[in-house]
Structure 1
Amino acid sequence: MTDRGVQLGTVQETLLIPLYGRAVENRKPEPALRDPRAEEMVEAITEAIDYDFARFDGLPSLFGSVLRTSLFDRWIRDFLVAHPDGTVVEIGTGLNTRYERTDNGRARWFELDLPDVIELRRTFFTDTARRQMIAASVTAEEWAADVAGGADGPYFFSAEAVLPYLDEPEVRHVVDLIAERFPGSLLALDTAGPGVVDTQDTHDALSKVEARIQWSCPDPAALERWRPGTRLLASHTLTTLPPELYDSLPGAYQEMLTSLAAQRLSKVEDYRLSLLRLTSRISQP
């Protein structure tokens, strides 16, 4: 996407989908989450480049992105309850406003994304003593040194709608990098199985952008075998959310998810949200 001062690469453009999802959700009388900043950013981007957000109107994936964000928010809140002075690292932060929703006033935050995204992000956010943006690829190693040198652990890494766009060797490299530099850290990520990857050309949202998912992961439990000692702490589809999150949703959303679960659509069941605890021990061939 390129126009009048705002330039984003093919994959980076996908950050506008969850941004718009949160903006749309914020307008509802009974939302799954509140995010007034998302509305402000959508309005500003629309005025700056006349981006066609309306092409995403009514798409089920908008609500799916809100549910994913809500679950990641809950995991981070739980982490900060247990570790009030911990460090949160948002990989592929995009235009997320998780800090505004979940910060406890004590934690250290790093927000990592590619340089073009950070350039756009800096038009809406500024660094503070506890919050720092890093312009780098997640596959590079320099950002890890910045995080390790800038804050003590424990660490929570959030990779929301990022890793599926890498190929598997790149994903393995990222997991190894985090595990080696930050052993014992938590990693929240989403994975897409064949039911998503093989149908993305007709996907309600992905079909409207150029980016394509590269990494197919049928079962997140496989990540435990990448590094012995790594533990899969939780793994959910959008229709099997934790009870505490499901119970907090408006009744209409609960009914929608119950109906969707009964259909057992591969596009839904093959997309998972998972939480890992990483180890520094490397598996032997």
Structure 2
Amino acid sequence: MTMQRTRLTLNQLEETLLITLWAKALDSKLRVPMLGDTRSAEIADRIDYDFDTLKIKAALTYETALRSKKLDDAVRSFTAAHPDAVVLDLGCGLDPRMVRCRPTAGIDWYDVDFPEVVALRPQFLPEPSHLVGADVTTTDWLAGIPGDRPAMIVAEGLIPFLPGSSFQVLTHALTTHFGTGEIALNGYTRFAAWAMKYHPTIKALGITAAAGFDDPREPESWGAGLTLIDEDFLTRAPEVADWPQPLRGLTRTMSRSTALSRQGARILRYRF
């Protein structure tokens, strides 16, 4: 029996969710997966789309899977310590993070993305998270989320697509609304964010990336009450030992330099 595949109607910005979805699907098929997200592979199989047009290289597959693993670990750690927490996955796309993290019954999980994107999630991800259809450059959607509990806020691959100072404004609104919690994100330097627009997968979709920030302590100056907990360089992660050559050797060479490691990929965690 032939599987019925779904053709998605997305604009260019929304279509970027397919990049991370496909990278995680490719990782799940590796001999030694970093993330092992078979659900992403199942979702991709159900979508009528030529994923080969995204031109995803091995480096992006490994990096995307490892950064998701690190962010998942941050969520699990926080929710284990705060079993009544609220989790916000900002720019969730079709990522099954809740499936991977398996939150306990006391956790309220909110998946946040454009209305057109979250409308797709029940079709592919029937798990009962709270779906919030919103443009995260606005903040009025926060009014419907309880703010009297600790919050774990995840932003994967989101910052470069937010124009101007909108991420700073969003961060201030989040920390004001919740009062206590953590923010975990993959941090792009200014150069990395600028270079993204020349990456084949971004260039093919016609997306112009916005700015990042170099100093991991810069967000502490945004007036949002943030304190840096950790800057975790993926170049120095033990999982790199399972990457193929020459990617493993190149990554290990980069790991010797903090400046080069920042241009690669890093997971930043802040408390507020």
TM range (shorter): 0.7 to 0.9
- Tell me if the contact between 2:183 and 2:271 (Cα under 8 Å) persists in the aligned partners: yes
User: What SS is found at the alignment partner of 1:198?
Assistant: helix
Code of the aligned partner of 1:134 = V
Residue 156 of structure 1 and its aligned partner are, at CA, apart by 0.3
RMSD across aligned positions (CA): 2.4
Question: CA deviation digits over 1:41-92, x for unaligned, max 9?
Answer: 111113xxx3334543434112111111011000011111111221111111
Question: CA deviation digits over 1:240-276, x for unaligned, max 9?
Answer: 34xxxx2xx3742297445314145977532432111
Distance in 2 between residues matched to 1:135 and 1:201, nearest whole Å: 26
Farther off after superposition, 172-181 or 195-204: 195-204
Q: Give the total of aligned pairs.
A: 262
- Tell me if the contact between 2:160 and 2:193 (Cα under 8 Å) persists in the aligned partners: no
Residue 199 of structure 1 and its aligned partner are, at CA, apart by 2.5
- Tell me if the contact between 2:90 and 2:111 (Cα under 8 Å) persists in the aligned partners: yes
Code of the aligned partner of 2:220 = E
**Percent same amino acid at aligned positions?**
24
Distance in 1 between residues matched to 2:35 and 2:224, nearest whole Å: 37
Code of the aligned partner of 1:140 = T
Code of the aligned partner of 1:118 = V
Equivalence map 1:6-155=2 (5 Å): 6-46=8-48, 50-53=49-52, 55-106=54-105, 107-126=107-126, 128=128, 131-148=129-146, 152-155=148-151
- Tell me if the contact between 2:197 and 2:207 (Cα under 8 Å) persists in the aligned partners: no
- Tell me if the contact between 1:238 and 1:268 (Cα under 8 Å) persists in the aligned partners: yes
Distance in 2 between residues matched to 1:268 and 1:202, nearest whole Å: 20
Distance in 1 between residues matched to 2:100 and 2:224, nearest whole Å: 34
Farther off after superposition, 268-277 or 77-86: 268-277
Structure 2 match to 1:283: none
Q: Determine which of 151, 155, 166 is the counterpart of 1:159.
A: 155
What TM-score do the two structures reach when normalised by structure 2? 0.86
Q: Determine which of 173, 183, 188 is the counterpart of 1:192.
A: 188
Distance in 1 between residues matched to 2:213 and 2:19, nearest whole Å: 22
Q: Does 1:269 align with 2:267?
A: no
Structure 2 match to 1:281: none
Code of the aligned partner of 1:125 = L
Distance in 2 between residues matched to 1:66 and 1:136, nearest whole Å: 26
Residue 204 of structure 1 and its aligned partner are, at CA, apart by 4.5
The answer for unaligned runs of 5 or more in structure 2 is 1-5
- Tell me if the contact between 1:61 and 1:205 (Cα under 8 Å) persists in the aligned partners: no
Residue 219 of structure 1 and its aligned partner are, at CA, apart by 1.6
Distance in 1 between residues matched to 2:173 and 2:224, nearest whole Å: 15
1:277/1:41 CA distance change after superposition, 3 Å? same
